[in-house]
Chain A
Amino acid sequence: GAGVSQTPSNKVTEKGKYVELRCDPISGHTALYWYRQSLGQGPEFLIYFQGTGAADDSGLPNDRFFAVRPEGSVSTLKIQRTERGDSAVYLCASSFGTSGSLSYNEQFFGPGTRLTVL
């Protein structure tokens, strides 16, 4: 596809359940990012990958959140024992991870997965 795709577009779950959110980056982009956006707020950084490895996971709020990118392309954000406070739009972005500052700052975002925890 031409852009970043995220599935599902909407996810409703019950408190305590496990969820997986998927991101397909733009072909050729080596860097992949996850952000969380609550209503009326800007995106909040969670984690980013350079290739298969997590280069910075300092934004993950606690150990219930985990993300993988096993083959350096598709990524999955996993949330265990969901809580109502996890309800938000989860945004994925990708970019070229080559040298040069613009390649990291020009991040191409997907439409997001809207997670609702009841």
Chain B
Amino acid sequence: QKEVEQDPGPLSVPEGAIVSLNCTYSNSAFQYFMWYRQYSRKGPELLMYTYSSGNKEDGRFTAQVDKSSKYISLFIRDSQPSDSATYLCAMNAGGTSYGKLTFGQGTILTVHP
């Protein structure tokens, strides 16, 4: 079983919809949680960063972390066609592993006009 599980989709929504993306994980040592966005043939870019449990909002994006359930989410409000990409959750245990990110499989999102 992988340390980080993410539904690969694909997910297709109309413009303006609210999108919910999720990951579960098994390693209780993870304490830093990230969402990266990857466009086709490009490297991932950091969207959201959260430490420990709680919510964080940045514009149309909201990240939630529930460490008790080992579950993280990313919500996108008022989705736009330019949001069409692969969304990757990533986690870091810190400590001696502070440079090592563990990624989910990625969810392919398409927002159609």
Q: CA separation between A110 and B90, bound complex, in Å?
A: 17
Complex contact B43–A110 (CB within 8 A): yes
Complex contact A42–B32 (CB within 8 A): no
A contact face: mostly helix, strand, loop, or mixed? mixed
Count B interface residues, CB 8 Å. 28
Contact with A91, one of B43, B100, B104 (Cβ below 8 angstroms)? B43
* Contact A111:B41 (CB < 8 A) given known A43-B88, A105-B32: yes
Stretch in A13-21, A54-62, A71-79, A80-88 with 4+ CB within 8 Å of B: A54-62
Count A interface residues, CB 8 Å. 30
Complex contact A40–B46 (CB within 8 A): no
In the assembled complex, 26 residue pairs joining A and B whose CB atoms fall closer than 8 Å, in A order, are A4-B43, A33-B99, A35-B101, A35-B103, A40-B106, A42-B106, A44-B103, A45-B100, A45-B101, A48-B100, A50-B99, A56-B96, A59-B100, A91-B43, A93-B43, A101-B32, A101-B51, A101-B92, A101-B94, A101-B98, A104-B99, A105-B49, A105-B90, A106-B49, A108-B45, A109-B43
Interfacial residues, chain B to chain A (CB-CB below 8 A): 4, 6, 8, 32, 34, 41-46, 49, 51, 88, 90, 92, 94, 96-106
Instruction: List 9 A-B pairs, minimum CB-CB distance, nearest first.
Output: A109-B43, A42-B103, A48-B99, A104-B98, A45-B100, A43-B103, A42-B106, A106-B46, A42-B88
Interfacial residues, chain A to chain B (CB-CB below 8 A): 4, 31, 33, 35, 40-45, 48, 50, 55-56, 58-59, 91, 93, 97, 101-102, 104-112
